[in-house]
Structure formats: C-alpha cells, structure tokens
Homo-oligomer: A and B are copies of this chain.
Amino acid sequence: MEKTFNLQNILHNTFLFSNLDSTSIEQIAAESLRVDIVRGELLFSDGMEALAFFVLINGMIKIYKISDEGSEQILHIHQSGDIIAEGAIFDKQKYPANGIALQNCTLVKIPKDAFVSLIMKNPEVALKIMGSYSRRLRMFVSMIEDFTLKDLEQRLVKYIIRNSKKKGAINYCELNVSKKELASLLGTIPETLSRALTGLKNKGYLTESEGVFAICDLEKFQTLL
C-alpha cells in the first residue's frame, strides 16, 4: 500500500479532478493529506463545521442520520473511489449527516480552504470540474434510462402477450392502436417506445410486418417478464 500511495495519481483518477492539468492537481495534492481511520471511527458528525471533503481509497464509509426518535437512517454507503461530502464544501458550512467507517479506511482529505482558493485564483479549474460533473450526470441519466427502458420493455412484453392470438404455431399481436396511443398507454413517449420495440426485434424476440408483431418463441419471450 505505502509504495503505491501517490496523492497526485489518486486525485487524477478521481472523476471530479480527471479533467485538471497537472499544475492544478499538484496544487491540490500539496494541501491534501492521507487519513487512516479504523472501523467504527467517525469521519465527521452531523452539524460539524465542514472544513474538508474526502476521496475514499480503501474501505467503506456509511453516511447516516439519527432521527429525533433515535432511529438510524442510512443515506448512503460509500465505496472506494467515491468522493465524500464535497457538497458540504460548495454550498454548506456544515456536514449534513454523520460519516462512520464500516471497515478500516484510507482516505485523502482535501481542505476546503485550499480547494476554494484554487477556484478563486483559477476559475478555469471550476469550468473543468463542471465539465466532469456534466459528463458524470449524463452517464447517470443514461443508466436511469436503461433501468426505465427495462421496466418499459416488461410492460410492453406483457401488453403483447396479453393481446396476442394464436395462428397455427405462431403467436401474433395486431397493434390496433397507434404507436403514439400505445406509448401513452404504457406511460412513455413514442420515441422511447420505438427504442424498446427495436430492441426486442434486434434481440430476435419479435418480427414486425405492417403493425403486426409475431412472437418468435413465446416461451423465450415470457422469460423477459
């Protein structure tokens, strides 16, 4: 571990800083420090003044709040590679929850002062960080769309099975509503429905001819549910 602990490499591999040039990385690295905490140790507590944020190198950090009734609400479990509590630096003065080590952890601690002064002196660093955020956000939007599309696919498969008729060995579903109406029936927009239908055709589950869908193999088609 000791041999390979290189602050600049770690920062450069953190999504927030991946866009920065080596001078900016060096400046952040010069002010950052390695922190090791043991299982059960608090990294920060709810309401504490937020003087730093962290990159988790090894271990797991649980973020949680304690309700007025004393029950614990887990907000998040951070894994290695995650950035922890950077939001508290950008627009809050205090940590909004507790952070505790679920395992022995190694982290990089980035002091708020050093980070903010780098931004104030070099605003182009901020533009690069916003670029990283923008890319990350787009990636997550696309992951969420994949999940949603999977749900839509299942609704679509259900609809096709429910409305199918048997002709010889083949199950047919005649679309007696427009694709726009079907999209609205399934709670989506026509473009997303088209993507789901194209996906099913490309994967060999369906063939389509003039609004009539033939299910290639009903048993296999049903496994999608």
Q: Which residues of A contact B (CB under 8 A)?
A: 19, 60, 62, 74, 76-77, 86-87, 90-92, 102, 116, 119-120, 123-124, 126-138, 140-145, 147, 189, 191-192, 195
Assembled-state Cα–Cα distance A145/B144 (Å): 10
- How often does this chain occur in the complex, in copies? 2
Does B137 contact A137, Cβ atoms closer than 8 Å? yes
Does B141 contact A87, Cβ atoms closer than 8 Å? no
Taking A91-B128, A144-B147 as given, write out 15 further A-B residue pairs in contact, using a Cβ cutoff of 8 Å, ordered by the A residue number.
Answer: A77-B189, A87-B134, A91-B127, A91-B131, A116-B127, A119-B123, A123-B123, A126-B129, A130-B130, A130-B133, A133-B134, A133-B137, A140-B140, A143-B144, A147-B147
9 tightest A-B contacts by CB?
A: A91-B131, A126-B126, A90-B131, A133-B133, A87-B134, A140-B140, A123-B123, A147-B147, A90-B130
Whole-angstrom distance between the Cβ of A187 and the nearest chain B Cβ? 14
Instruction: Say whether chain A's binding surface is mostly helix, strand, loop, or mixed.
Output: helix
Would you give 5 A-B contacts (Cβ < 8 Å), ordered by A?
A62-B191, A76-B145, A92-B131, A130-B133, A140-B140
Whole-angstrom distance between the Cβ of A129 and the nearest chain B Cβ? 6
Across-interface contacts of A76 in B (CB, < 8 A): 138, 141-142, 145
Assembled-state Cα–Cα distance A123/B127 (Å): 10
Assembled-state Cα–Cα distance A10/B45 (Å): 37
Across-interface contacts of A138 in B (CB, < 8 A): 76, 87
Assembled-state Cα–Cα distance A132/B138 (Å): 15
